[in-house]
Chains A and B, each alone.
Chain A
């Protein structure tokens, strides 16, 4: 008995394990948080503006007001996540002091440091980070991330980048599995990731942490497709509360995420949802406005 430890890697990665098969929803008010919890979200992401609005309004996007985050924490009993800017370790300290359940070091906000990410080992609160490929995911895990989400292109409602990133990560993992032991040293060099981690992924065929997907998921079929492509769960940002009927859409995406391999259920979930978010084709976005290119 007696020796009890908080903030361990197992405890931090463990919460993400418990979120698997679930939908994490962006919310900007306590009322939206209540809708998300009632609709079956496994967690909510508390923020001031959803990515679609950050994109439309421009300017520097920062950590949300602590009052807003605390209102949302007071409203729901499912886990509450909040975003810090890439490299902004003081925003992360603040979020930890508020008692949030997870911090998203997120490219959706404006980066605070174009060289370094946050040293996430130094916190008791777990972090989730975005990645567009396996090397990026492994670098974030090396820095202490306890959960990875593929980035996609937030705030667009265009799922193509999410597809590309989850396929890239799973494809690179599969490639590692096919390499011989002596080839893994070069693979580690090419991935710009520590050899030990690369070897672990090659042996187990998966990341050592949970892999969700994010960025552009707007429909039940989008969510189910991400699950069929190997995601452990989905983040839905603007897709719910920028749609015509957020309550119905939130429930439908939860249902399709669980029944991701059952087209009849996905068809039912897709009926009568009203308008999806209007969205932006990623191909029409000039490069400087692509959020996925933030972080490295």
Chain B
């Protein structure tokens, strides 16, 4: 199955790139770091890792990869974003730093650092019907939440207080938590299925 999957990329400007490359490789994918528009051209899907969203935004402009990513998202490339990656995929951002931009794509509003400081970072079990059993072990690190979703967006998961922490819209998938640091591969598998379907 993995042999039919075209190469996929992990945006390698800053953040937990290594963990995503490992998760994708464990699923048999040809996963490559992507730092430039040229490297982006050679992949059929992109993971945007966890990291500091304000830095990933800046570096995407400094290294001229932002416009290329936006164009690929507009043309239907599957993208999976975790934490900072979810922020980068949101059309609207609350509590960004001055001038912070996102790539957009998901018709949603995401609040940065929604749970507080590192002392409020936590791990928990989430029931996610779209993934079935067992529950997902979810690690939230200075995590964002989704505060608004448009009509085309499917909510995949909420935390106990009802706040939205995983969403999907067509080929775009975003989680506020980090499956890649918890040995959870089902979101990456879902992303790879979208890549295969799109190719």
Closest residue on chain A to residue B58 by CB atoms: A40
Tell me if B123 and A42 are in contact (CB < 8 A). no
B18 touches A2 (CB 8 A): no
- Are A20 and B18 in contact (CB-based, < 8 A)? yes
Ordered by A's residue number, 16 sampled pairs between the chains whose C-beta atoms are within 8 Å are: A1-B160, A4-B124, A10-B181, A17-B16, A18-B51, A20-B17, A21-B13, A40-B59, A42-B55, A78-B52, A78-B55, A79-B117, A101-B119, A101-B142, A124-B119, A258-B13
B6 at interface (Cβ–Cβ under 8 A)? no
B54 touches A11 (CB 8 A): no
A77 contacts B by Cβ under 8 Å? yes
Instruction: Give complex CA distance A41, B135 in Å.
Output: 35
Contact A38 B14 (CB under 8 A): no
Contact B19 A17 (CB under 8 A): yes
Question: Among the interface residues B12, B62, B182, which one has the most CB atoms of the partner chain A within 10 A?
Answer: B62
- A140 at interface by CB-CB < 8 Å: no
From residue B143, how far is it (CB to closest CB) to chain A in Å? 10
Residue of B nearest to A76 (CB): B97
B73 proximal to A (CB < 8 A): no
Q: Once the chains bind, are A5 and B97 in contact (CB under 8 Å)?
A: no
CA A1 to CA B163, docked complex, whole Å = 13
| Contacts of A241-264 to chain B: CB distance below 8 A | 254-255, 258-259
Q: Is B120 an interface residue (CB 8 A)?
A: yes
With most chain B CB atoms within 10 A of its CB, the pick from A4, A8, A15, A101 is A4
How far, in Å, is B178 (CB) from chain A's closest CB? 7
A63 — which chain B residues lie within 8 A by C-beta?
none
In the assembled complex, the Cα of A19 lies from the Cα of B140 at a distance in Å of 15
Interface residues of B in 178-197 (CB under 8 A from A): 178, 181-182
Which of B15, B96, B125 is in CB contact (< 8 Å) with A18? B15
Within 8 Å of chain A (Cβ to Cβ): is B9? no
- Please report the C-alpha to C-alpha distance between residue A207 and residue B132 in the assembled complex, in whole angstroms: 34
Q: Is B1 interfacial (CB 8 A cutoff)?
A: no
7 shortest interchain CB distances as A-B pairs = A101-B118, A4-B124, A21-B14, A42-B52, A17-B16, A11-B121, A6-B122
A6 CA to B14 CA, complexed, in Å: 25
8 Å CB contacts to A: which residues of B42-60? 50-52, 54-55, 58-59
Interchain CB contact under 8 A, B118 and A79? yes
Interface size class of A (residues with CB under 8 A): 35 or more
A1 and B125 in contact, given A17-B181, A258-B59 (Cβ under 8 angstroms): yes
Is B16's CB under 8 angstroms from A18's CB?
A: yes
Cα of A19 to Cα of B142 in the assembled complex, Å:
12
Q: Closest A residue to B52 by CB, please name it.
A: A42
How far in angstroms is the closest Cβ of chain B from A103? 10
* B118 near A21: Cβ-Cβ < 8 Å: no
Contact call A14/B98, Cβ cutoff below 8 A: no
Say yes or no: is A99 at the interface (Cβ < 8 Å to chain B).
yes
Interface pair A254/B55, CB less than 8 Å apart = yes
* Residues of B contacting A125 in the complex (Cβ-Cβ under 8 angstroms): 118-119
With the chains together, A59 CA to B52 CA distance in Å?
Answer: 36
Per-residue CB proximity of B1-24 to A under 8 Å, as 1/0? Answer: 000000000001111111100000
User: In the complex, given contacts A6-B120, A22-B51, what are 17 additional A-B residue pairs having Cβ atoms less than 8 angstroms apart?
Assistant: A2-B124, A3-B124, A3-B125, A7-B119, A11-B139, A17-B50, A21-B12, A37-B97, A40-B59, A78-B55, A79-B52, A96-B119, A101-B142, A102-B118, A125-B118, A254-B55, A258-B62
User: How far does the Cβ of B187 sit from chain A's closest Cβ, in whole Å?
Assistant: 16
Report the Cα distance A21→B16, complex, angstroms.
Answer: 8
